[in-house]
């Protein structure tokens, strides 16, 4: 006999919930096992119509029926949302809480939900919205390995997942994968501008850059070679690529990346103190 699907509740029906729920149902997870709550109606109606999920305006109602609760509200609302669940959901300690809010450390959820709460912190990034995310996951000591596997399977619906060992690692992960799309967009915009300066129109320049970025990322994913080796393979000695790489190296691109990531890590550490 096949096991019944685990009931999962999403608190907040914003962009991230829409992507994850869409990924889950389109990959076979039954909509009727997914419960979503949100204050306003339009997003719930859309989710209900598209994926046949169950919806409510009451967070406690959806949390009550679920074994796993995904908190997908803005960080500044998290304390209030958790305290309301803590007050109105019996047996909350027996449920697994997944939070995707940036900047709030696991220990804070012990304040919000009690010391024995089972909490997993997940840091998805924006490409999760198009199914190409990179999510970092961190669990507290109360989370079982079966729950870890289930939560991995949820976030695999919107990209790749990586389990981390502590908050320090999560701060670094956030500086690379969370902020990373912005670094790539910045670099891509620079290349687009260079092509425009040399006579291409903006749309043509963008197409060249986008497809080249996608191609390079796909080659990196498909290859066992180190990234530096892949770079060398497209850099013949004395050729034009070598000239461009020489300019990047003179400008110490690697050093600049190290400094940029460190600045983001420090900022993540500072922001964690705000909650």
Contacts with ligand NAP, residue ranges (CB under 6 A): 11-17, 37-40, 43, 59, 72-75, 77, 81, 100-102, 124-126, 128-129
Smallest distance, ligand NAP to C-beta of residue 39, A? 4
Smallest distance, ligand NAP to C-beta of residue 245, A? 32
Q: Which residue is nearest to ligand NAP (CB)?
A: 14
Structure token pair of residue 262: 């460190």
Which of 61/67 has CB closer to ligand NAP?
A: 61
Please tell me whether 14 is known to bind a ligand.
yes
Please tell me whether 219 is known to bind a ligand.
no
Smallest distance, ligand NAP to C-beta of residue 63, A? 10
Which of 43/118 has CB closer to ligand NAP?
A: 43
Which of 176/208 has CB closer to ligand NAP?
A: 176
Which of 15/144 has CB closer to ligand NAP?
A: 15
Smallest distance, ligand NAP to C-beta of residue 8, A? 15
Which parts are annotated binding residues for NADPH?
59
Which parts are annotated binding residues?
11-16, 59, 72-75
């Amino acid at each position: 006999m096949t096991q019944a699907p685990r009931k999962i509740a999403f608190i907040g029906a914003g962009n991230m919930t829409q992507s994850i729920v869409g990924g889950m149902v389109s990959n076979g997870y039954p909509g009727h096992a997914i419960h979503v709550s949100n204050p306003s109606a339009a997003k719930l109606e859309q989710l209900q119509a598209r994926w046949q999920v169950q919806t409510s305006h009451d967070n406690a109602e959806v949390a009550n029926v679920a074994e796993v609760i995904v908190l997908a509200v803005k960080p500044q609302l998290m304390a209030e949302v958790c305290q309301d669940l803590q007050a109105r959901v019996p047996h909350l300690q027996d449920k697994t809480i997944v939070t995707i809010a940036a900047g709030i450390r696991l220990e804070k959820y012990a304040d919000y939900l009690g010391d024995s709460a089972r909490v997993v912190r997940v840091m998805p990034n924006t490409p999760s919205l198009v199914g190409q995310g990179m999510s970092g996951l961190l669990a507290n000591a109360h989370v079982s390995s079966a729950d870890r596997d289930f939560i991995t399977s949820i976030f695999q619906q919107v990209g790749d997942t990586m389990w981390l060992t502590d908050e320090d690692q999560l701060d670094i992960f956030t500086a690379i994968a969370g902020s990373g799309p912005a670094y790539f967009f910045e670099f891509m915009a620079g290349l687009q501008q260079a092509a425009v300066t040399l006579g291409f129109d903006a749309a043509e320049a963008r197409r060249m850059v986008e497809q080249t970025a996608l191609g390079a990322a796909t080659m990196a994913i498909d290859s066992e070679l180190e990234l530096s080796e892949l770079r060398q393979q497209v850099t013949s000695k004395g050729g034009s690529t070598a000239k461009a790489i020489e300019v990047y190296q003179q400008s110490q691109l690697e050093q600049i990346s190290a400094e940029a990531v460190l600045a983001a890590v420090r900022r993540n550490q500072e922001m964690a103190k705000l909650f």
